[in-house]
Amino acid sequence: MLKGSCERFHISSEDKAAMWMYILALVVLYYVVRWFRELERVPERGSKYVYITGCDSGFGNLLARHLDKCGFCVVASCFTEKGEEELKKSCSSRLSTIHLDVRKQESIDKAAIFVKELVGQKGLWAVVNNAGVSVPSAPCDWLTLEDYRSMLSVNLDGVIGVTLSVLSLIKKARGRVVNVASVFGRISPTAGPYCVSKYGVESFNDSLRISMHAFGVKVLCIEPGFFKTSVTDTDIILRSLKRIWERLPQETKDDYGEDYLSKVETMIEKKLTKMSDGDLMKVVSCMEHAVSAVHPRTRYSPGWDAKLFWLPLSYAPSCVFDYLMLKDHVKPAKAVI
């Protein structure tokens, strides 16, 4: 009886091969259909306004230029006058610039009034929360609460503040909110407030997406890997690290050893240079798709390191993650393990 039952449910090698071919065909079909579906772009771009933060350099600067060429009416916020002037020179008359310090509510409110007067009754098609910083960054016991607050005020509070300031305009247009988080909003390979801030952006993004669904507002997230921007600039990171080291109490310096900083500097210069991708358009293309596609994706993860290493690692057991992060880690002088 048992033997007969086993024989009845036996799958031949030919059936297994056919099953895998069927699965492969379904996967290919899914991606082909998705590719065609995502080609469609929104009409009447010339009447759609896109508000972008952090346009002095990097992703924000390139996105402002790119969307201007695509025909959108861009409102590019910059932290410096130089950033505003350079964008105006290189873009069409459709592009408007404004000063914005995302750390200050009065600056956010002033920018929101400017945007409201500009878009009128049509509302705001999209806001792209791109402004962000990567320092201070250091081992957790080197930092103070104020270090965390200074970064969270830009990377998290700024995202929330800017979004809420124009959300009613986006609801009116049934538009989009595009939040630039990071693959490090999924996993924390570095110490300090950066990952904390990006985890917060991910959480805000998810809760806002659910809240705005009933109003036809799409909320989308960009999760880049390592790219060559000011966020991964080794000079900025190392200068910040040295300033933090210099203020540490001698007891903490003794714990880590006088040569710890130089070893970390060597590791950072080697790894960031090797891992950082110089093709910023990989990220900008995802941002543009999130803004202009009729059917955008909920999440974008530009960068092969994000797709093939960091995201898969975020689903791995903690023991695997810890091993990979610690195997090349610079050990403190008084390490006990």
Write down the pLDDT at residue 96: 96
Query: Counting Cβ atoms within 10 Å, is residue 228 exposed (0-12), middle (13-18) or buried (19+)?
Result: middle
Average pLDDT over residues 12-34: 83
Write down the pLDDT at residue 8: 56
User: Who wins on pLDDT, 336 or 124?
Assistant: 124
Q: CA 145 → CA 136, 150, 181, 200, distances in Å?
A: 11, 9, 22, 16
- The residues spanned by each domain of the chain are 44-326
* Single-letter residue type at 228: K
Most confident of 188-197, 266-275, 295-304: 295-304
Instruction: Please calculate the CA angle 138-140-144 and round it to the nearest 5 degrees.
Output: 90
Average pLDDT over residues 83-105: 96
Q: Given pLDDT bands bounded at 50, 70 and 90, which one contains residue 190? A: confident
Tell me which residue of 222, 284, 300 sits closest to 67, measured CA to CA: 284
Q: Which residues contact 305 (CB under 8 A, 6 or more apart)?
A: 183, 225, 226, 275, 277
The question of whether 194 is a catalytic residue gets the answer: yes
Query: Counting Cβ atoms within 10 Å, is residue 143 exposed (0-12), middle (13-18) or buried (19+)?
Result: middle
Which strand (E) or helix (H) includes residue 151? helix 145-155
Q: Which of 193-207, 285-299, 321-335 has the lowest mean pLDDT?
A: 321-335
User: Who wins on pLDDT, 21 or 204?
Assistant: 204
The answer, as to whether pTM is greater than 0.95, is no
Architecture of domain 44-326: 3-Layer(aba) Sandwich (3.40)
Selecting among 194, 199, 256, 300, the annotated active-site residue is 194
Contacts 24+ apart (CB under 8 A), 80-87: 80/56, 82/56, 83/55, 83/56, 83/57, 87/55, 87/61
Write down the pLDDT at residue 230: 80
For residue range 163-173, list pLDDT tens digits in order: 999 999 999 99
Q: Report the C-alpha gap between 130 and 180 in whole angstroms.
A: 5
For residue range 263-290, list pLDDT tens digits in order: 998 888 877 777 788 899 999 999 999 9
Instruction: Please calculate the CA angle 50-59-204 and round it to the nearest 5 degrees.
Output: 65
pLDDT at 6 over 70: no
Tell me which residue of 221, 222, 223, 218 sits closest to 295, measured CA to CA: 218
Q: Given pLDDT bands bounded at 50, 70 and 90, which one contains residue 11? A: confident
Q: Given pLDDT bands bounded at 50, 70 and 90, which one contains residue 204? A: very high
Q: Is the peptide bond before 136 cis (omega within 30 degrees of 0)?
A: yes
Where do we find the tokens 């929360």?
129
pLDDT at 316 over 70: yes
For residue range 209-226, list pLDDT tens digits in order: 999 999 999 999 999 999
Q: Report the C-alpha gap between 198 and 180 in whole angstroms.
A: 9
